[in-house]
Structure 1
Amino acid sequence: MPSVRQIWTAPEGSAPMEASERVRAVAGGGLAGDRYCHGRGYYSPYDVCQVTLVDSGAVETVRERYGIDLSDGRHRRNLVVDYDVVDLLDTRFSVGEAVFEGTRRRPPCAHVEEVAGEEGLADALSEERGGICADVVEGGEVAVGDELGVVERLDDPDALADAIRERREK
């Protein structure tokens, strides 16, 4: 089963990312203690992602292909998971006690490169290696090692119809 490998937050925009073993996901807000949950992100309020995810395989590819080690959180993404995060777009998925919805890709930008102090980082994180944004649908604790599971695919009409039918039967 895919799982969370690392958790990162930053208290404000451009601040260094801080590793955690566990964090609380806040419904409709993001991760407790993170810049975007508190409206202090670099792009707040114009381009906000409640939570960002990146595939650990993409981080490894950046290290191997570009010689850039991002194991210290300079990728500026909240959750590093061993799963192709692009497959989580238009999907509800659980991690620990929380439920998220993958909303859009999170392409790298010049700001990531500037804050990381690593020339070429934006290019290294391109081609689907930049991760995705997700909204917190249901809050709860998330910890390193927690499994990631798909709850429902929102772009699959049959799955959505089944989910609606199940909710009505409750």
Structure 2
Amino acid sequence: MDMAQITDLFITGTGSEPMQSVTEVHAVADRGLRGDRYFNGTGYYSPYDVCQVTLIANEAIDAIDREFGFDLTAGEHRRNVVTEGIDVHDLLKHRFRVGDALLEGTRPRPPCAHVEQLNEQEGVARALKDGRGGICADVVESGRIGVGDSISDIEAMDKTASIIERLRSK
């Protein structure tokens, strides 16, 4: 992985408020990002569909702008962490370090109708499909996350292949 890093961070205190750009956040184990709507329990989908942290690739945001003409750079994508230099889907079922925090990629985060309602632009949800909507992650170890921090893949959570290899070598 070459220089994968964070280019932007966004949080908002409640579910339908605009995302606010911040330079750093504190990730809290088993809770999410301090000050964010899902940490506070005030997210639009709380308590039924909660992602502690959401990540989206800057490359996906650029592709959406080129293909659909939607500028989502001010957080209209409704994701917390904007990455550069990595396909965020490669972090699914992996533990990875972002700044001082350890996260675990849990599932894709497809777009929803709510993101389109807030943007008041028809087609935003469709533009975020096809793998451009990002992923969800859980906070495993608390720590500070800041713009410019690197992203380091630590380990795959699915150990099946390595277990099978060990059994075969016995």
TM-score for both structures, normalised by structure 2: 0.92
Match of 1:123 in 2: 126
Residue 167 of structure 2 corresponds to which residue in structure 1? Answer: none
Q: Does 1:153 align with 2:156?
A: yes
Cα drift, residue 160 of structure 1:
7.9
Aligned ranges for residues 64-79 of structure 1 at < 5 Å? 64-79=66-81
Give the residue type in structure 1 aligned to 2:79.
R
Gaps of at least 5 residues in structure 2 are: 165-170
CA–CA distance in structure 1, aligned partners of residues 6 and 143 of structure 2: 15
Partner of residue 21 from structure 1, selected from 23, 27, 30? 23
> Could you list the runs of 5+ residues in structure 1 that have no partner in the other structure?
162-170
Aligned residues: 161
| Structure 1 partner of 2:168 | none
CA RMSD of aligned residues (A): 1.3
- Are residue 102 (structure 1) and residue 105 (structure 2) matched? yes
- Tell me the CA shift for residue 26 of structure 1: 0.7
Map 1:39-58 onto structure 2 (within 5 A): 39-58=41-60
> Please, what TM-score do these two structures have when normalized by structure 1?
0.92
Once the two structures are superposed, residues 2-43 of structure 1 have per-residue CA deviations (whole angstroms, 9 ceiling, x without a partner) of: 000000001001110000001100111110110001111000
- Report the counterpart of residue 165 of structure 1 in structure 2: none
* Counterpart residue identity of residue 110, structure 2: P
Distance in 2 (alpha carbons) for counterparts of 1:159 and 1:58 = 32
Give the letter aligned to residue 32 of structure 2.
G
Task: Evaluate the alpha carbon distance shift between residue 92 and residue 109 of structure 1 in structure 2; reply closer, same or farther with a 3 A threshold.
Answer: same
Corresponding residue for residue 12 of structure 2: 10
Percent identity (aligned): 51
